[in-house]
Amino acid sequence: MRRRAPRITFDEIEHEIKDSILLCALKITTLYPTHFIKSSKYGLDEIICAIFKSAGVPVDALDLDEPKDRAKFFEEVKIAYQKALNDGMQICYPPILEHNIQKLSDAIKLSRVEALVLKFTVLLSFYEELRTVTDIAGADLSTTQAIKLISVLLDEDVEEIKIALNRESRLATSGLLRVEAYNKSLYNKIEVLSSGFVERMMSEHKNIYAVIKGILTATDAGTLDVGDYGHVQKNISVLLPLLKSSTEAPKGSNILIYGSPGTGKTELAKAISKAVGAKLYEVDYQDSALKALDADDRLRAFRLAQVIFENQSGVMLMFDEAEDVFRDEDRGGYANKTTQRDKAFVNRLLENANIPTIWLTNSVRMMDEAVLRRFDMVFELPIPPKKKRYQIIQDEAKELLDEKSINELSKYERLSPAVVAKTLRVVNSIKSNIDEPSAAAKMMIEDMLKAQGHDISEQKSASKLPSFYDPSLVNTDIDLSELARGIEGAKSARICLYGAPGTGKSAYGRWLSEYLEKPLILKKGSDLLSKWVGGTEKNIKSAFEEAFDESGILLFDEVDSFLMDRNSAQNNWEITQVNELLTQMEGFGGIFLATTNLMDNLDEASLRRFDAKVEFGYLKKEQALRLYLSCLKEVGLRASVDAKDAVKRLSHLTPGDFATVMRRNRFNKIKHADDFVTRLREEVDIKKDAKGSKMGFLAS
């Protein structure tokens, strides 16, 4: 939508412009008398009246509905028009507009007529009085009529005007002007780039780059280098040679980088331009008045950039929020008017671009597949892995955070560099006025993660192991300590841990992580499953890549949620996600654990890929008693003989039951040993497989 400059009165306009407006009014009224009569049917606009009165045409005393008065009016107009011509009156432009048009014309090689048309159009966009005058010629001009009107007003050959406004002209290909197909008034028929551009053309600036500010902005150097993006180094190693060749001899290369907000896409673009020795300009998303530019305006700005820099080497462009430009309504998005109107135009725009451009977007999900194919390279910038997150926090924190806090924060998988940088900058600015800057930074980061919808409590507990955990107190069909030693020697393993909930499967993964001194990458079914086609497969692949980068232990919890038997699959995606997991397992050289409560539901082929299947059962009576005594000691209680016997009589006990009772103790204190037993019994009683069975001993 076009925005108009604030209206001023005719008397407030500088003399030269007032004369220009008057001349246009007289010329149009003389040449288009029928249109004037139509426009005056419901009374003359006050500006029109003021204009004619300034020329000595007595409009107030005339009734234009009367033929005699109408004839007198047009006679007076002709006299005034002839006098204006005799006095040498012509359309004049503010000196600053003349100056800026000349700069722009020199930069993009406009012809004389193209420069003149652009100059007049800017004047038309800036002065409402001039727009009111040109409306006399009609509100529904065809393209032919609009071209003829401009030729009349500018005293230029109509064919020259036609050439200046055709699709192949510099005005059109640069996006500076666009001729609307539908019949409209002259102002709405010939659209100038943007209101911000008009305002800058009417203001004083040092050079052409200052003129186009609000359209294109030179970026700063950024604070990061490509080496800080080790988790996408493979992509960068291909990208840099491509862009290096493109910037040395200007030619189009379009690179699309996508990823969640805050992953560092903008900083990566800056780092890339720095690495190839290019000056980076951003296609602005808001004008000089800080008003958001729509997608159509931004595409036109992109076209202008192509023209401005077409013969320059060492220049790159950055186009952020590309999803607004390339959104496809057929894929669930709301298409902007350009892509909606002409997808072929957008495709040609990418194919014909002569300046290398990095396009940034949060998601490619809504983008037209035909558009995606036009990019030379497309890759995702994910959240950095834990090692990289640790390094980023450490670099940003300087003396603000201790090592313990840095380590804790780096465990948050969804913690983006942008959140870290912004938070620590804020805390650094106020650290002298707060008691515990480290605690404040940690709190602010966690609050931001919560606001973004991430489960902080789950992330905090993901790597924590109960203090009473002991592999010997887990009932399995294999010695877990011996298994750990074997994995340590082999350095790789694919193990399936199965059994009832709470039997210690996930806890063993945490214990193994501590035993081997390797980070645990824990992924639940909810972390991996996606509602988008192909999303689950992508998440599975990313999880294995993260584990590889971190040299960590990868644990898939609740693997049955996506590793179902393919023979019972009802949808194609159920098969493809199983296939993806099997592929990743085959190619993974590290330690992979998978847990499930539903062993019978797993795909048979996947089971053969596991080096070992370890069953976790309910606690044996001796294990239950030892665990009970260990927990009592931790809470400072002693067990009676009756309490010990009661524990040994409980069936279907799991380490998870003890963990639940201990967590409850934090806010509901255990009163005595028998109270502990009661709480354990309550946990047992709610289990489906324990209901209806007699209390008794498990097989030892």
Of 171, 173, 168, which is closest to residue 101 (Cα–Cα)? Answer: 171
pLDDT given for residue 694 in this prediction: 41
How far apart CA 408 and CA 100 sit, in angstroms, is: 56
Q: Compute CA 583 distance to the chain's CA centroid, rounded to the nearest angstrom.
A: 30
Cβ proximity of 522 and 464 under 8 Å: no
How far apart CA 428 and CA 437 sit, in angstroms, is: 8
- What sign for the dihedral angle of Cα 192, 196, 197, 199? positive
- The DSSP letter of residue 359 is E
How many CB atoms are located within 10 Å of the residue 670 CB? 20
pLDDT given for residue 594 in this prediction: 94
The helix, strand and coil proportions of the chain, stated in percent and rounded to the nearest 5, come to 55, 10, 35
Copy the structure tokens of residue 599: 């062993």
Beta bridge partners of 36: none
How many CB atoms are located within 10 Å of the residue 111 CB? 15
Determine whether 211 is exposed, middle or buried from the number of CB atoms within 10 Å of its CB (0-12, 13-18, 19+).
buried
How far apart CA 613 and CA 477 sit, in angstroms, is: 9
Q: What are 128-131's contacts with CB under 8 Å, separation 24+?
A: 128/4, 128/5, 128/7, 128/8, 128/47, 129/8, 129/10, 129/13, 129/21, 129/47, 129/51, 130/20, 130/21, 130/24, 131/4, 131/185, 131/186, 131/187
558 in the Ramachandran plot: left (φ > 0), alpha (ψ -120 to 50) or beta?
left
- The DSSP letter of residue 564 is B
- The DSSP letter of residue 379 is E
Q: Compute CA 447 distance to the chain's CA centroid, rounded to the nearest angstrom.
A: 21
Question: Which DSSP string corresponds to 569-584?
Answer: --SHHHHHHHHHHHHH
Residues whose CB is less than 8 angstroms from the CB of residue 372 and which lie 6 or more positions away in sequence, other chains included: 256, 364, 378
Please state the pTM of the whole predicted model.
0.65
pLDDT given for residue 456 in this prediction: 64
Amino acid (one-letter) located at 613: K
Cβ proximity of 576 and 562 under 8 Å: no
Copy the structure tokens of residue 575: 């098969």
Residues whose CB is less than 8 angstroms from the CB of residue 559 and which lie 6 or more positions away in sequence, other chains included: 496, 525, 594, 595, 596, 602
pLDDT given for residue 364 in this prediction: 83
How far apart CA 127 and CA 202 sit, in angstroms, is: 11
**pLDDT per 10-residue tile (average), the chain, 700 residues:** 48 78 90 77 72 82 77 89 90 92 91 96 92 89 94 95 94 91 91 86 80 80 83 92 79 86 88 94 74 77 88 89 72 46 71 89 80 90 80 81 82 75 85 86 84 62 70 94 95 94 93 88 83 82 84 90 65 76 90 92 83 95 95 92 94 94 93 95 81 43
Of 271, 290, 110, 275, which is closest to residue 217 (Cα–Cα)? Answer: 290
Amino acid (one-letter) located at 375: F
Cβ proximity of 367 and 258 under 8 Å: no
- The DSSP letter of residue 473 is G
Amino acid (one-letter) located at 296: D
- State which H helix or E strand residue 129 sits in: helix 128-134
pLDDT given for residue 629 in this prediction: 95
What are the Cα distances from residue 291, in Å, to 121, 175, 194, 215, 287?
A: 22, 19, 11, 12, 5
Taking only Cα atoms into account, the Rg of the chain, rounded to an integer number of angstroms, comes to: 37
Cβ proximity of 379 and 235 under 8 Å: yes
Residues whose CB is less than 8 angstroms from the CB of residue 314 and which lie 6 or more positions away in sequence, other chains included: 247, 248, 277, 278, 279
Determine whether 404 is exposed, middle or buried from the number of CB atoms within 10 Å of its CB (0-12, 13-18, 19+).
exposed
pLDDT given for residue 572 in this prediction: 62
Question: Which DSSP string corresponds to 598-620?
Answer: -GGGB-HHHHHH-SEEEEEEPPP
- Taking the CA atoms of residue 170, residue 176, residue 181 and residue 182 in that order, the dihedral angle to the nearest 10 degrees is -150
How far apart CA 547 and CA 541 sit, in angstroms, is: 10
Q: Which residue has the tokens 């007529």?
A: 113
